[in-house]
Copies of this chain bind each other. A is one copy, B any other.
Amino acid sequence: MAYLHRLKVRYGETDQMGVVHHANYLAYLEEARTEFMAARGMPYGALERAGIGLPVRRVELRYRAPAFYEDQLDIHVSLGRVRAASILFDYSISRPADETLLLDGAIELACIDLESRAPRMLPGDLRARMEAAAKE
């Protein structure tokens, strides 16, 4: 089942087309993903303090309808696939006020050693928690 994170569009996130600029959705998804990880007992900041990073390796987004200033957005995060050295998150964003789907997509994170920036295996603890979440 998807984790739900709710947020509100900031003024500076709109552009002159009068809608949320497409780049800002990546910040929304990142906020939702880290809230999801924290809720699962794996706050992302703690991972980094342990020397492990999860940089974004792949992004696939489809923009279905625009979001507007002051909109409340529902961001649904779920786990698509957990591998030895990567995690795939699936997302959708909807606006509850009119039950409109605004965006769906997927983001893959790689696992790296922050010191060397080399790829590494997911820590066992993180992998176990993410696999458990993927099965729900």
Contact = CB atoms under 8 A, between A and B. Distances in A.
Interface in A50-70: 53, 55-63, 66, 69-70
Interface residues of A, number: 38
Q: How many copies does the complex hold?
A: 4
A83 interface: no
Contact of A23 (B12, B16, B19): B12
A18 B62 CA distance: 25
A12 B27 CA distance: 7
Given A12-B30, A22-B26, A23-B12, A63 B69 contact: no
A123 interface: no
A48 B70 CA distance: 12
A17 interface: yes
A42 interface: no
